[in-house]
Amino acid sequence: MHQALYRKYRPRAFDGEGGVTGQDHVTSVLRYETENGRTSHAYLFCGPRGTGKTTCAKILAKAVNCEHPVRGNPCGECWACQSIDAGSAPDVLEMDAASNTGVDYIRDIKEAISYVPAALKKKVYIIDEVHMLSSGAFNALLKTLEEPPEHVIFILATTEFHKLPATIVSRCQRFDFRRIKADVIAERLMYIAGRESIPLTSDAALLLAKQAQGGMRDAISLFELTAAGGAEVTFERVSEVLGLSGIETQYKTACAVARHDLASVFKIVSVVENSSKDIAVYWSELTGFWRDMLVVKNLPEDARAAYLDYTEPEMRLLLDAARRFPAEAITWHFTVLDEAQREMTRLPQTKRLSAELALIRMADASLDSSPAALLARIAQLEDKVAKLASGVPAEPSPEPISLPDPPKTVEKPPEAVPQDAKPEPEPADTGMQEADLTEAAEKLPESCRSYLADSECLVSADRRQVLIRTPNEMGRMILSMPANIASIRSALFACGLTDVGAQIEIVPGAKPKAKRAPVDELADF
């Protein structure tokens, strides 16, 4: 009989192989209490769905009844552990408060707890979604929670802690379950994939983990869905099955809005609408992307990792998108995004129209007379004035960049190269002097700055010819964009390194001086 993967791989112990992951702050305390015989009479497990509340409740029920516990963990082999796992233990009762909300239900429990356990050491009552109980049921439960018999343990679980009466909370030992980090979930998915012999790529595992939003059960369920039919679970497979648009679509949308390019806006929405992707899912992803842009606008670089789960190429797209908007514009855009989201929920048949109208408003702030839109327009004007005052000429919004293709692992053999192929000639640099790009790089967008740091700059004696050598192929592509060439030209002139209108050429080549550390060379791949 087939068993769902999230049930098959449900943790059986607090720690160790196959144990609970991502909730060490909870499991370490529970294991210590069971190991030293200091368990409480009532527990309250709070947290989002799929984070391990019911799982830990069952492990705790096994641990207090196990015949041969191992360092506070249930052995999993005795009759007590096996009967609890099978759901046939007479003294461990798991109940759903959402289906039994009345006071009579609690009164039945009060009568049953007066009897000693039939087969185990302790009676354990696991009440899931306890916040669904009526006020009368909570009142009936109060006295029982305060002074239950010694052979009874109550474990209450809820996803909505704020709905519980303070009198109930004060009678329980409370544990808060956190959303599990994406890398922890991805590691668990790779483990399950290996045990089930299902091909799963690391980027697909990370994407599934992000979509689960901190819930291990949701992540495993999504993994099983995408692996249906024996298909290899790749990034593309996950995006197709879940209807995701991907970060490149979100980035292109942001660029189109920043450039006031309505033709591209309509094209992007049309592509989403005519593919297997759902506009509502695309809109939710877009809102998340806008949130991430606001994060990078307000946090220093060393603090972003705690909030964002991005690969290095994805982070470059995010940074490039964020620099195109002032913070005031992003804040106003949130209002437009939220209004469109509510409209899509109210009238699903007009999702495409709602998306198009919202993006048009975001691309042209003059169409909105709200105070937030006016602040966004003022911020854009202030930015232009500041650039003019600093001597940097105003330039059109640069073209969108793209994620690099994955590196090829198989190199072409020498004999496959055409015999008439000639190496690219090295540009002449006679009479050129090396220039320090540190100050000029600070005036450039972040997407250019990182590539320019690894480049060598040579300036001719008349300061009208500039040669920039960069070892990174993607960096050469980005720096060679017309808009970025113009930005580099303005920055070099502002720093006094060149004359007006200097000719800039970007060529391949590494710095001849300092040898790069091995960790830095990873940036080229």
Question: What is the per-residue pLDDT across 6-36, written as a single tens digit (0 to 9) for each?
Answer: 888 888 888 877 788 888 899 999 999 998 8
Same-domain check for residues 232 and 135 = no
Lookup: tokens for 35? 């190991």
Residue at which a domain ends, from 156, 176, 196: 176
Residue at which a domain ends, from 389, 418, 448: 389
Whether residue 396 is contained in a domain is answered as: no
Whether residue 352 is contained in a domain is answered as: yes
Lookup: tokens for 305? 């990792």
Domain of 118: which CATH number?
3.40.50.300
Same-domain check for residues 275 and 196 = no
Domain of 501: which CATH number?
3.30.300.180
Phi then psi dihedrals of residue 196, to 5 deg:
-95, 0
Which residue carries 């506070």 as its tokens?
Answer: 72
Query: What pLDDT, on a 0 to 100 scale, did the predictor assign at position 276?
Result: 66
Same-domain check for residues 129 and 93 = yes
Same-domain check for residues 49 and 170 = yes
Residue 412 has pLDDT above 60, yes or no: no
DSSP 60-105: HHHHHH-SS-BTTB--S-SHHHHHHHHT--TTEEEEETTT--SHHH
What pLDDT band is residue 519 in, cutting at 50, 70 and 90? very low
Query: What pLDDT, on a 0 to 100 scale, did the predictor assign at position 157?
Result: 92
Same-domain check for residues 88 and 203 = no
Q: Pick the residue with more confidence: 282 or 410?
A: 282
Domain of 376: which CATH number?
1.20.272.10
Whether residue 101 is contained in a domain is answered as: yes
Same-domain check for residues 348 and 485 = no
Whether residue 261 is contained in a domain is answered as: yes
Domain of 194: which CATH number?
1.10.8.60
DSSP 233-299: B-HHHHHHHHT---HHHHHHHHHHHHTT-HHHHHHHHHHHHHSS--HHHHHHHHHHHHHHHHHHHHS
Nearest to 241 by CA among 281, 193, 286, 284: 281
Give, for 340, the enclosing helix (H) or strand (E): helix 327-346
State whether residue 217 is helix, strand or coil. Answer: helix
Residue at which a domain ends, from 176, 198, 231: 176
Same-domain check for residues 251 and 381 = yes
Residue 473 has pLDDT above 60, yes or no: yes
Same-domain check for residues 256 and 363 = yes
Whether residue 106 is contained in a domain is answered as: yes
Same-domain check for residues 253 and 226 = no
Provide the CA 302 distance to its chain's centre, in angstroms. 17
Instruction: For the chain, give the mean pLDDT.
Output: 80
Whether residue 276 is contained in a domain is answered as: yes
Whether residue 410 is contained in a domain is answered as: no
**Residues of the chain with pLDDT > 70: what percent?**
84
Residue 523 has pLDDT above 70, yes or no: no
Whether residue 324 is contained in a domain is answered as: yes
Range of the domain at 439: 430-524
Same-domain check for residues 9 and 95 = yes
Residue 312 has pLDDT above 90, yes or no: no
Same-domain check for residues 186 and 147 = no
Query: What pLDDT, on a 0 to 100 scale, did the predictor assign at position 58?
Result: 92
Give the C-alpha separation, 223 to 200, whole Å. Answer: 9
**Residues of the chain with pLDDT > 90: what percent?**
10
Query: What pLDDT, on a 0 to 100 scale, did the predictor assign at position 177?
Result: 92
380 burial (CB, 10 Å; 0-12 / 13-18 / 19+) is middle
Same-domain check for residues 255 and 322 = yes
Which residue carries 């793209």 as its tokens?
Answer: 402
Task: Provide the number of structural domains found in the chain.
Answer: 4
Lookup: tokens for 276? 């297997």
Give the C-alpha separation, 74 to 63, whole Å. Answer: 5
Give the C-alpha separation, 58 to 64, whole Å. Answer: 10
